[in-house]
Structure 1
Amino acid sequence: MTETLSLIDLFAGCGGMTVGFAREGFRSDLAVEFDFAAAATYAQNFGEAHTFFGDIADLADEDIPEVDVVIGGPPCQGFSNLGSRDVNDPRNKLWKEYLRVVTHARPKVFVLENVQRFSKSPEFELLLAEADHGCIEEYELRWGVLLASDYGVAQRRPRTIVIGSRIGPIEPPAPTHARMAHGHVKPWKTVRERIDGLPEHPKTTDLPARTTEVFGAAVQGPFSMEELHFGRNPRPISLERYDHVPPGGGRFDLPDHLLPRCWREKTSGTTDVMGRMRWDAPSLTIRTEFFKPEKGQYLHPQWEADDPDRRVNRVITHREAALLQDFPSDYKWCGSKTEIAKQIGNAVPAGLAAAVAKQVKAAITSAGQETDEDGLAEAV
């Protein structure tokens, strides 16, 4: 029987990375999350006993177990193209707390996940210095910017993945999917494959009035994925705008009389806002405000030019966003509508995490087999 590999998930959020690693047979021994609603969601799905709700700086060294793998993504707003890009942003220093846990947990492998531009940041250079002559000098680092759609996720979401290993270098996994299939590489998963068949017209705009107790305090939920399929009440002018946008289109498809002044005066850029998804392509990145069409390409993909009755003029629901983030259909959620949207948008797509987990597991298993063979040879 294959031994179950243990992990610590830092900055765990609602559990996207743990979902992916669990798919490959990993067991979470500790999860750390500062946001209450996100920590509650994690606890609902993986257990409260090993979930540390609080500041990672308050996690005592003696409470850090030794595990096979440490995973996590320190908050990235400072590096994000949508953020301040301020290298002095305190959120950019939290990777040092990540390294503190690594030094005490003594994992064979650690996986650090962040936004695309992290690999070009001054903080990344400091991370490389720590691997060269600092606290993680016994680890060999490999990294790359991976596109979630290249690993079976119906979303074109780029993330920087850094793999540190003290059992030999581990390269990021090779793509298993591509825009066009070739050889053993499958075609990209599509929006249709994840959300087709769900009710086009949600019956409610609200979450059920339900609370539970987690970490000794009340939180809204838990809610099923089905209960996340609620709509909104857009204004008539918003509905008129939505009606003009075809699949793959956006704000440039709106007639002048429907353009707000800010868009009328900005004749270039922000091409995905007020955008409509395509059924037969992956979505673009699902961000934390996917419920606002002015924030990206979040309109439901159903739209037919010759039949106005076959147009679904709404943004995707929380349920649809969670499915595009590759969460399982039986996942449970805690928090308000806005808090859950933030959890969904901040998560690592589970399929991308699973691809990394599979690569890491294979390396650990191989290293263990080599150790066993060496021991047997010495005994003979």
Structure 2
Amino acid sequence: MTNVSELIFRQITPADFFNINKQPGAEALGGGQSYIDVPVKNVALPTWHSFFDGIQPVAKTNGPVWTVEINSLGGLGSQQVSIGQRREASVNIRSQKLFSRSSNRIYAWHPDHGGFPRAPVDMSSAEDPRVIELTAGVRVFILKTEEDEYWAGWLKTEEIERLSAIDQRFETMLTEPAGHLSFDPEIELNLASLKDPFGVQPHSVEVAEEDVAGNAGTPNKKAPYNAKTGRSEEAIAAELFQDDSSSEDVKKTQKVIETFERNRKAVRDLKKLYKTCQITGNDFIFSKVNGEPYLEVHHLVPLGEGGSDNPTNLVVISAHIHRMLHYAVVEGMDLAKIVDGKLDFTINGEGFTITWLPEHAKVIADAGGATV
């Protein structure tokens, strides 16, 4: 056991996940993104200098680059990792692309070592529903101990919610896409555990969060991440239209993708069987150009958490409901409580019901149900 003094985190987006897990050949003109960016509006450059105090950075054209020994929680080992400013707007953790000759994926964030979500080999884009499922609520972090050692790990939303219920200093991890936490008093860290590393004692301490310029603000409890209330139109416009795009021309590429026919067949057959959303009926359903209803299929237990592609784990829903299940607060999704082919649950506190056809409900019941 040791104590944690500081922590920097980053929420993994579908785009991050897709880019750092592309298979070889997916990029016709290069390997694509190989880093995980942390915006300086969330973690200011002076904060990085303080976080890596004692490590002399190398001055590069775009800014400082630190070479840091990163230990991975759970006894997964240590490695030298380059972390530095790639452009004015961000600091990045480098060489995180999995399928690359220069890959140096942090062990704790590696699917073969740290149990990090594994990407489907046939994923086609960041909009792939499976990618969205796998990244939902995933936060990676690097922390600093009282001995000035650096350790990496990752947590999901539900684990952070449990921590923040005991120590509210973790709430920022739920409300921001990236950030820096400073712990005073420090908290205990179990170096041997990747999934439950924090020996948290109850505190009533509120942390002053950095504002967009990296300055200390006043303690407050923020709205959930992506809730943009309270920002002026000018601030939104300034962020939205900042010059943060590549000057390179958009290139058109052609890719050949192998798919798992078994999965596709289950999806196709379920859509033909239901023809409407199992939750809202015809609400939010529109017709495609061929006249067929547009529907999507959702994995009740995410693939990255051991969910399967067979009908016991699939429901047919509208695109609108699909996004709500991924991004809103979903409670009561216990398949063991299906009664007469129906299950009541809530999305953001509002009641909804999934309705299964009798033969579909029987398959789920025979499988023993599951709690999502």
Whose relative contact order is higher, 1 or 2, with alpha carbons under 8 Å and at least 6 apart?
1
- Higher strand proportion, which one? 2
Same-fold status (TM-score > 0.5): no
- Higher helix proportion, which one? 1
TM-score normalised to the size of structure 1?
A: 0.25
TM-score normalised to the size of structure 2?
A: 0.25
